[in-house]
Structure 1
Amino acid sequence: MKIKHLIIGCWLSVAGTTAMAQAQYVWKTATTGGYPYKYVTGDPTHSRFYTLKNGLTVILSATPKQPRIQTYIAVKAGSKTDPATNTGLAHYLEHMMFKGTDKFGTLDWAKEKPLLDKIDALYEQYNSTKDEAKRKEIYKQIDQTSGEAAKFAIANEYDKAMAGMGAQGSNAFTSFEQTVYTEDIPSASVDKFLTLQAERFRKPVLRIFHTELEAVYEEKNRGLDSDPRKVSEAMFAALFPNNNYGKQTTIGTVEHLKNPSLNKIRAYYNSYYVPNNMGIIMSGDFNPDVMIKKIDQHFGYMARKAVPAYTFGPEQPITSPVKRDVYGPTPENLTVAFRFPGASTRDAQMLNLMSDILTNGKAGLFDLDLVKQQKLLSASAYSYILKDYSALVLQGNPVKGQTLEDVRNLMLAEITKLKKGEFADDLLPSIVNNYKKSVIQQNEEYGSRAGNLMDAFTSGVDWKTNVSLVSDLSKITKAQIVAFANKYLNDNNYVIVYKHQGEDKNIVKVDKPTITPVSVNREAQSPFLKKVNDMPANAVQPVWLDFNRDIQRAKAGQLDVLTVQNKDNALFRLYYRYDMGSWNNKLLPVATQYLQFLGTDKMSSEDISKAFYKLAASFSVNAGPEITTVSINGLQENFTKAVALYEDLIANCKADPKALEGLKARLKKSRENAKLNKAAIMSGLMSYARYGAQNPFNNVLSNEELDAIKAEDLVNLLHSLATYKHTILYYGPQTATALATSLTSLHKMPAQFAAYPEAKKFTLTKEDKSRVLFANFDMVQAEINWIRNEGKFDAAKMPTIELYNNYFGGGMSSIVFQTIRESKALAYSTYASYASPAKKEDNSYFVAYVGTQADKFNDAVKGMNELLNDLPESEKVVTVARDNIRKSLETDRITQDGILFTYLNAKRRGIDVDDRKETYAALGNLKYSDIQAFHNAEVKDKPFTYCIVASEKRLTDDDLKKYGELTKLNLTQIFGY
């Protein structure tokens, strides 16, 4: 499920007059190349809105910065329009849209079709049968017939075709009222892309269904293990009892998942996948006049059809708090939600503005009163905008000793302040100024443009509203906001969801059916796809970085200054990068967190946050294991003020014992919460697997050391930060020389830099036998990571590693995905990768992953081990992998501050050139034999450490001991406290 916020489309100076704003943003029409379109004057994205004769909406926003295009094919239908008797159906269909048609995805349609028809009939029989014994017999027939049909199917042919074009991010998602198919393609591949997509949406075939259905089961079980998903579903059910936002979930009920109907899926497709209910949205490198003609030629065949209207009873006012309780193993928290009108209303705009008054990361009421004052562990407010209704959602996490009632009272007290107008008069113009910066950032990227346009289309929001939003919001007064808050927020009209820590006794997992692995026919290719692949494409010349040419250099005192000039807009990003981190001093991460709660003699911590926000600027200090980075960004016009503000804080921050006590309490609660987070537990297991009991993950302060910290120690460490040598990085309008000159007076530097504290060293474990590390967690699934340490970094192996990863374990066209998910239906998510280190003196490591139902654990481990020990050969997949890498590299453009970080990353590996060039040059000579030789040397028949997080109630010791020496780790061993 995707959280959607109303998207900002443009900015206007707050000083603009009302008359100017009204004149600037209007819909107009134009015609070029025989195609009429609409556009909004003053739209910086220059988006064109076409409607083809069959009703298909086409939205094009051209920007030539990179030779790529972000595409969305969006359908205005989702779980909201699922039949009540077949919930989850829109999501099923999304999965099946990757399976092909009668022209691709099949070896022999004439032989495959009768078998698929038989499967259809068997599912209808299965769904109408109540006797469990008879159902099992019918399912055996479904499994057997599916295996026969799969012999004529080409699994993942769509994915391989897109990968071969150089596509990235091939995926789709389903939400309440949208199903969206997304691709990021090279602009040179657009003809191939449109040919494939037009065929894909013509008449999808629901082949290899029962294994894909099993992947959906896995997705459902992942949802059952997700406490945030359960909270969200409970909130929507209480907030919208008359609307399918609350009556149905996107993934559907367990009962409906067990009883799918292919006939119902086709009926849904025929009802909603029609051109007048769909949109094609593109942003990137193309000529709109040419692109619209191409789209019309490919999609003009689609026939307009009446779309079933979605009707619902209006929600009745909430007159007293609606309470819901959710249980699960993760930390307790609280959610409060108020109901608002839908996306296309002016109230939705006001809601977004009001949510930013509560939370904006710097100067909102929640930011200053609850987070900055450390009254809660975390607190936020955000708007959730949907077509029929919207919501203001408040979320809070307690500090140690607080009840959820305390959290509720603190958050609702801030709502009372909002309703009374107890917020700074300059907060509204500050929000608008930050919107201005945000819009500039969004319009820099073709992907952001396309995403904004797609969201507006599926939500039914007039793009003119987006374009004029900043101008419109700049006219809203504090009195209007106060009146709006009092209209919609009162003491009783909300939903409140209490997330308790404890066992969820309502979980009913989807049980494992018996599935015989199906054929995937890796080497096969349909005539249709051969035709697509043979289509000509304009050659694109790769562009490699030249670090001497692309980076400007200067000196600020003794410090190196590396810059890339921003010639597109007025934004800057400045970094101070230190070659030390928590491995040098375990106090450093605590000190950098402490900084956000400190002030100086002249300004309080709250004053500093408000000052940064007023400048539309921000700063952060992040202490990693080996590198600490100070980041300052904003509008160049405020560069001097923003940098001076940070420099004054870091040099003159004052010890605040009360703030430290609050921070210690927050850290202790965060530590407790981390032990209730399965992802954190798995990270700890993997670090333990690589380094043993003393490892980077648990290289943290003990509870006793944390208690002993003094405020003066942390402040002294912060004051001393500038005394260590660092590199200055900058992306912005200034030249390197000009920047160095300005920083000479702004950035304090000592006459002599201090030496870095010696970094802690960690010893890698010896991979002499297979081991199993197990951590218990109350969950439906079992998560398994295979991990082993490999050799030192070797730049000469990089091309082979790139091809190996793409071939073996990366993406939906890879061997691992095709085998584990498509053929054997053992997981929703699976991958494998040979990971190179960040530094030349460090070791690489190999990792493979499967997340599966606990009752499939042994099958999943067996399936992955077979691949690790016997690499399947497929020249077709090698070709796809090679083409994907080559075309991706040809169209990859490293820009902005990405150039600086690419240079520094290369330098850490002992490389002084753009290593992509070497990979590109070597690709043509690499074959399957090279991949196999690499696999045999690094992976085949090697001992692994199995890192497993699962419920000990669902896996036995005997299950675990099959794979190696078993060690069950407790949370103190994993976390170090």
Structure 2
Amino acid sequence: MKWIKSVGFVALVMIVQVNFAQTQYEWKQATSGGYTYKYVTNDPMHARFYTLRNGLTVVLSVNKKEPRIAVRIPVRAGSNTDPRDHTGLAHYLEHLLFKGTDKYGTLDWAKEKPYLDKIDALYEQYNSTKDEAARKEIYKEIDKTSGEAAKHAIANEYDKMMAAMGGQGSNAHTWVEETVYEEDIPSNALEKFVDLQAERFRNPILRIFHTELEAVYEEKNRSLDEDAWKIQEASHFYLFPTHNYGQQTTIGTIEHLKNPSINAIRDYYHKYYVPNNMAIVMSGDLDPDKTIRLIDAKFSYMNAKPIQEYKPSPEKPITESTVKDIFGPSAESLQLDFRVGPANSKEALLADLTSSVLSNGKAGLLDLNLNKQQKVLRSNAGVRQYKDYGVFIINASPKQGQTLEEAKDLVMEQLDILKKGNFDASLIKAIVANYKLQQLQGLENNANRVEEITDGFIKNKGLLWNDDVAVLDKMGKVTKEELVAFANQFFHPNNYVLLYKRKGEAKGVAKVEKPPITPVETNADKQSPFVKAINGMSMAPVKPVWLNFATDMQRAKAGKAEVLYVPNKDNGLFNLQYRFEMGGWNDKLLPLALQYLQFIGTEKKSSEDISKAFYNLACSFNANAGNEETTVSLNGLQENFDKASTLLEDLVRNCKADEAALEGMKNRLMRARANNKLNKSMIMTALRNYGVYGEKNPFNYTLTDAEIKDIKAADLVNILHNLFNYQHRVIYYGPKPLAAFATDIAKIHQLPAAWMAAKEPAKFTRRTQGKNEVLFADYDMVQSEIFWVRNLDAYDPKKEAVTGIFNNYFGFGMGAIVFQTIRESKALAYSTFAVLQTPAKKEDQFAFMSYVGCQADKFNEAVAGMNDLLNNLPEAAQNFDNAKKSLLKDYETERITKENIVSSYLANLKKGVDHDLRKDVYEQAASIQFSDIKGLHDTDLSQKPYTYCIVASEKKLKEEDMKKIGDVKKLSLAELFGY
């Protein structure tokens, strides 16, 4: 999925004046290091496109900001290319590409192979058998044989190798026309990494199959619980009655998931995982000449094959609109969808630009006319573009007392305004300029670079990268007249899909039933010869770089306020922050006052005038109050700094009460609070807070409905007028020298002779878990979600190193003990983790949290499985070594720059440390042994009581099963939310 959307709208007015026609984006060819590559002139990524002799595409983009490389390995195959009788196959294959080959993931391939061959045959027999009794007997044999095969396998060797070389975020995703493997590695691990990837795709073995299939079942069941996923599937189904975008789901049908074919999966791999259908995309600290030579040498074994592209019949024009109701337990909303033409088409370009005219976060028609005027709870628009078609999406949520139909009518009114051309023509140029600004900012992030290039490869094999690079210049040439003409052609009464998400019971939701699975051996303490060889490869040392707050950051005074300063030497952008050590715990009205600020103006300027003024200055501001901190920030072009900061000062100090705006905000707030009670994630957050703190906790420390009703506009405005009279720091990252900035800001941001005293903050005491207890909240869902929470000792910075290694070893990541046991061995969950939480400030405590999301009928096994790990820490020497190496390599390759320097400084201060704590952690981690994390586990977790926070359907989860754990307390939503 790809959204090309402007968020947090900032217009670069200066850039708007550029003559877009002057820039040329042309394919050129060059040779370096013995390899010929293509590139596009004026490509800001300077990407080199190589095509190896076997057809493999390699794209390299150099970025030396940090000693790391972001990697994507895309395959142009997804649910579109699934066989009709095996939907979900591409997605399942993605899971299996983490299981190893005949060289790794196995103790003895010769002994393992006969069992895997037998499992293949059993699944084919299982597929062709219709009699349920016979199928159960076959499955018993599959389960038995799988257990025998697993004795010769080693689970998660891939993840262990990635962790040992310092990889981060190993993952993959499958979507309608793509499967993409995602990595981020230290630059000095490149040779190891390429060796591993070449082996990974050489001969993948589909081992540990039936437990992984169960994980996919769980993923399917999770999707059945997500109303957003239901809307997604319905949207595609009705927009694309012919194309596989709408007719085949990525996870697959329940029927097909119940009848997998290993042979079909293997055939699919050989058909689509060929070099002329794949790419390796890298961005980061790399030498292109050395990198391409390495990849060519390691991947030359791959042989090209003809690819049969998915070429469906064209969809017929939509001549009759479709309106459907989607039912589920979450809050009401609507989605309006229009079908867009193919990627790189003029229609796709105009649709994307049109979506930003409607919604850009600041000055779009939906932004100004619906969101700012509070006519709906929220609304937005965007385009999700695929290769063959795209989807133009408008979302809206009704406010209190408003029907979905009324919200839809308001959205339709904005489309009419668009079609009549009732918007300023300069908006188009400003949107393009904002995209350019985002592009400039995104260039510093390797992940952004590889994502953009990968998207181009999926859609057109990168052959139209020149068009991708030129797209903003093309947008800049679009006139208002052209866009209005497009809108009138594109939006008409009979060519959309309208989905009303209504609250109610979803009919016909059938979960994938749990088959009986005997836990398999993971051999976590074993290691294949291939892994030993990879781990034994030398890596050039990378020295960590620590912050020196005395030199990396400068200090000054502006009136009474301390100024923290870091220079921006790269461009003409600034970021200004006023940071207060007070928040919603000091005053419940403070967060609402800052929210109110976006809807009101001053005596001389309306709220809309102020939004447009910031927009014209190429600056934006944000004001937000957390529990204990408040920030007011401003960012944009330095040349407009004085005007923008003066405008912000005027707004905060001279804002005017607006009763209508307050009533609108109250309405939306009440609706948002009601919607939160329908959101299972919010319910679980509330439940965990209750588990950690008890009845009085940070989550339910909020205003009652009656208190909201009694809020006066004058009260909120008074808070805003006095905001800058409370003690705060001034933080600046920008090009202006410190002395000049301090002088200027002191004139603009005038401060009182003495700070006002903030109210004493509310205090919350963490509970001591004296016995096991269960906190339960009922929710209409297929799965059950279980959190274990436990409060631990007071913060000690000397425990951070052992805590970090423990988390890597025990519960965080696919190579961790929890994941290997709960998911890989026992197939009890799709998602599971455990983490020792380090507090953000020295006054707080360490805490523990673990999680399993599973089918309700797996509840007892899942709880028992996690409890066993909490009581008995398995020892796997290689896992521990990897966990330790991973932590050390993370610190060696991490670089904290720009405004993050000040954030790091303040974070360290909160922990009672006046220097870069990472240096201490790194040095301490080097000497930590397994006995240290075992001692931590024994002291803090083993044989200890926990609070179990459970969200599930009481129709599916038996209370007597929960009572086996501890006393059960069913909490009402009023108790959890405080209103």
Contact preservation (8 Å) 1:7, 1:456: no
Unaligned runs of 5+ in 1: none
Pair 1:150-2:162 in alignment: no
What amino acid maps onto 1:673 in structure 2?
Answer: N
Q: CA deviation at 1:344?
A: 2.1
What amino acid maps onto 1:469 in structure 2?
Answer: V
In 2, Cα distance between the equivalents of 1:753 and 1:653? 21
Structure 1 partner of 2:108? 108
What amino acid maps onto 2:663 in structure 1?
Answer: E
Structure 1 partner of 2:189? 189
- Identify the range of structure 1 (766-775 vs 778-787) with the bigger mean alpha-carbon deviation: 766-775
- Identify the range of structure 1 (437-446 vs 138-147) with the bigger mean alpha-carbon deviation: 437-446
Structure 1 partner of 2:281? 281
Structure 1 partner of 2:841? 839
Structure 2 partner of 1:120? 120
Q: CA deviation at 1:501?
A: 0.4
| Counterpart secondary structure, 2:382 | strand
Q: Where do residues 155-234 of structure 1 align in structure 2 (5 Å cutoff)?
A: 155-234=155-234
Pair 1:732-2:731 in alignment: no
In 1, Cα distance between the equivalents of 2:154 and 2:742? 59
Q: CA deviation at 1:405?
A: 1.1
Structure 2 partner of 1:709? 711
Contact preservation (8 Å) 2:55, 2:275: yes
Structure 1 runs of 4+ with >6 Å offset: none
Contact preservation (8 Å) 1:383, 1:392: yes
Structure 1 partner of 2:415? 415
Q: Where do residues 522-921 of structure 1 align in structure 2 (5 Å cutoff)?
A: 522-921=524-923
Alpha-carbon displacement from aligned partner over 1:388-447 (angstroms, at most 9, x marks no partner) = 001210111011111111121111111111111011222112212212211111112122
Structure 2 partner of 1:304? 304
Please tell me the root mean square deviation across aligned C-alpha atoms, in Å. Answer: 1.4
Structure 2 partner of 1:958? 960
In 1, Cα distance between the equivalents of 2:145 and 2:6? 48
Q: CA deviation at 1:612?
A: 2.1
Q: Pick the aligned partner of 1:16 from 18, 22, 39.
A: 18
What amino acid maps onto 2:16 in structure 1?
Answer: V
| Counterpart secondary structure, 1:387 | coil
Q: CA deviation at 1:766?
A: 2.5
| Counterpart secondary structure, 2:16 | coil
What amino acid maps onto 1:739 in structure 2?
Answer: F
Provide the TM-score with structure 1 as the length reference: 0.98
In 2, Cα distance between the equivalents of 1:415 and 1:471? 25
Alpha-carbon displacement from aligned partner over 1:171-207 (angstroms, at most 9, x marks no partner) = 0001111100010000000000000000001111000
In 2, Cα distance between the equivalents of 1:542 and 1:644? 41
Q: Pick the aligned partner of 2:481 from 479, 495, 514.
A: 479
Q: CA deviation at 1:17?
A: 3.3
Q: CA deviation at 1:566?
A: 1.7
Q: CA deviation at 1:5?
A: 3.1
Structure 1 partner of 2:88? 88
Q: CA deviation at 1:7?
A: 11
- Identify the range of structure 1 (423-432 vs 692-701) with the bigger mean alpha-carbon deviation: 423-432
Q: Where do residues 456-467 of structure 1 align in structure 2 (5 Å cutoff)?
A: 456-460=456-460, 462-467=464-469
In 2, Cα distance between the equivalents of 1:19 and 1:126? 63
Contact preservation (8 Å) 1:6, 1:343: no
Structure 2 partner of 1:373? 373
What amino acid maps onto 1:480 in structure 2?
Answer: E
In 2, Cα distance between the equivalents of 1:679 and 1:403? 24
Contact preservation (8 Å) 2:525, 2:875: no
Alpha-carbon displacement from aligned partner over 1:10-54 (angstroms, at most 9, x marks no partner) = 999433335522xx3211111111211111111121111111111
Contact preservation (8 Å) 2:601, 2:651: yes
For residues 804 and 619 of structure 1, do their structure 2 counterparts lie closer, same or farther at Cα, with a shift above 3 Å needed? Answer: same
Q: CA deviation at 1:673?
A: 0.3
Structure 2 partner of 1:5? 4
In 2, Cα distance between the equivalents of 1:790 and 1:343? 53
| Counterpart secondary structure, 2:551 | helix
In 1, Cα distance between the equivalents of 2:280 and 2:253? 31
For residues 734 and 643 of structure 1, do their structure 2 counterparts lie closer, same or farther at Cα, with a shift above 3 Å needed? Answer: same
Structure 1 partner of 2:450? 450
In 1, Cα distance between the equivalents of 2:518 and 2:640? 64
Q: CA deviation at 1:555?
A: 1.0
Contact preservation (8 Å) 1:326, 1:497: yes
Contact preservation (8 Å) 1:562, 1:736: no
In 1, Cα distance between the equivalents of 2:830 and 2:414? 41
Q: CA deviation at 1:872?
A: 0.8
Contact preservation (8 Å) 1:437, 1:635: no
Structure 2 partner of 1:947? 949
In 2, Cα distance between the equivalents of 1:185 and 1:342? 34
Q: CA deviation at 1:385?
A: 0.5
| Counterpart secondary structure, 1:548 | coil
Q: CA deviation at 1:819?
A: 0.5
Contact preservation (8 Å) 1:430, 1:615: no
Q: Where do residues 8-47 of structure 1 align in structure 2 (5 Å cutoff)?
A: 13-17=15-19, 19-21=21-23, 24-47=24-47
What amino acid maps onto 2:251 in structure 1?
Answer: I
In 2, Cα distance between the equivalents of 1:14 and 1:762? 51
What amino acid maps onto 1:57 in structure 2?
Answer: T
Contact preservation (8 Å) 1:437, 1:616: no
What amino acid maps onto 2:520 in structure 1?
Answer: V
Contact preservation (8 Å) 1:419, 1:485: yes
In 2, Cα distance between the equivalents of 1:39 and 1:643? 42
Alpha-carbon displacement from aligned partner over 1:191-249 (angstroms, at most 9, x marks no partner) = 00000000001111000011011111111111000000000100000001110000011
Contact preservation (8 Å) 1:689, 1:787: yes
Provide the TM-score with structure 2 as the length reference: 0.98
In 2, Cα distance between the equivalents of 1:62 and 1:168? 19
In 2, Cα distance between the equivalents of 1:754 and 1:899? 29
For residues 545 and 691 of structure 1, do their structure 2 counterparts lie closer, same or farther at Cα, with a shift above 3 Å needed? Answer: same
Alpha-carbon displacement from aligned partner over 1:592-646 (angstroms, at most 9, x marks no partner) = 1111101112221112222223333221111100001112111223222222221
| Counterpart secondary structure, 1:549 | coil
Contact preservation (8 Å) 2:6, 2:361: no
In 2, Cα distance between the equivalents of 1:738 and 1:909? 32
Structure 1 partner of 2:396? 396
What amino acid maps onto 1:817 in structure 2?
Answer: F
In 1, Cα distance between the equivalents of 2:506 and 2:944? 40
Contact preservation (8 Å) 1:329, 1:778: yes
What amino acid maps onto 1:815 in structure 2?
Answer: I
Structure 2 partner of 1:937? 939
Unaligned runs of 5+ in 2: none
- Identify the range of structure 1 (40-49 vs 65-74) with the bigger mean alpha-carbon deviation: 40-49
| Counterpart secondary structure, 1:60 | strand
In 1, Cα distance between the equivalents of 2:420 and 2:55? 48
In 2, Cα distance between the equivalents of 1:18 and 1:688? 57
Q: CA deviation at 1:68?
A: 0.1
Q: CA deviation at 1:738?
A: 2.5
For residues 88 and 4 of structure 1, do their structure 2 counterparts lie closer, same or farther at Cα, with a shift above 3 Å needed? Answer: farther
Pair 1:507-2:506 in alignment: no
Identity of aligned residues (%): 56
Structure 2 partner of 1:257? 257
Contact preservation (8 Å) 2:798, 2:921: no
What amino acid maps onto 1:757 in structure 2?
Answer: K
